[in-house]
Amino acid sequence: MRASCCRPFSVSAVNLRPLNPRVATFTAKTMALHPAQDGAKLIFAPAGTLADPSVPGQAAQFLKAETRGGLRRSDLDPDSPIAQFHTWFTDASQPETGVSHPETCTLSTAQLPSGRVSARMVYLKELDPKGFVIYSNFGTSGKARDLFGSEDGSSTGNPWASLVFWWEPLERQVRVEGRAERLTTEESQAYFDTRVRGSRLGAWSSKQSAVLHPDPANPDDDGRAQLDKWVKESEQRFEGEEKIPVPEFWGGLRIVPERVEFWQGRQNRLHDRFVYDRVHQDGGKDKWTLERLSP
């Protein structure tokens, strides 16, 4: 169903159910959809009941950690958010937790001087003592524009970025704030070699975020033909070659954290939040403070 601000809905509610029941910790809810009128809400949450979706319901409670007393400072690594993240990621990776793709996270960047923020889902591919590593196109993509600037000067480059991980079955969230830096070609090549051939060719082919113009000679084409043409060109370029070099515009990006927050859901929205902040040391190894935050 496609919603329009100028066209009324023909239904009163939509039942939103998880695609994978193992991943859901909350009961599937119904979110009320209202006729599209000037100033009216199109979606109203928290959800109503199935019996009467027009009546607002109560938001689901976070109860996973209640039996063990929530998250305490003593549960966390006293010195390193990297070590603590590794522990939580290991927990989220266990099959019995029901977390689907724990490496999935939101990468947010901000364009300067406008301050305009953009976000996209990415996969964490590496964790090392320095930080969190993802891989992507850094030639034509929006993230490249935000982080490293643009040739037309509309973006001056802003190396600050953030990651958010959400593991719903565990009712846990991790927020990372830091500065982004590119990995070396050698480091990127090591990961690039693990990708299937089609994905390696795809990295060469796609001018990420560029507009794909329809072929005027083909009324059925919506622009996909242009991408298919680039893929065929890459296939021809590397035909018979198993070792495909990583493109110079593609590779790894490490978020070097300055702040990392660990969030555990609790009843009545009185969540447990602990944040590590980096303390820079002149001529020595940086240290981390660890504080509890109010929910």
Residue 144 CB neighbour total at 10 angstroms = 22
Instruction: Name the maximum alpha-carbon separation found in the chain.
Output: 67
- The pair phi, psi for residue 62, each rounded to 5°, is -95, 115
Q: Which long-range contacts (CB under 8 A, 24 or more apart) does 235-239 make?
A: 235/201, 237/204, 238/201, 238/204
Is 292 known to be catalytic? Answer: no
Query: Taking the CA of residue 4 as centre, how many other CA atoms within 13 Å lie in the half-sphere pointing to its CB?
Result: 4
Distance CA 288, CA 293 (A): 15
> Which of 22, 68, 116, 269 is the catalytic position?
269
Distance CA 168, CA 171 (A): 5
CA distance 141 to 172: 30
The catalytic residue positions are 269
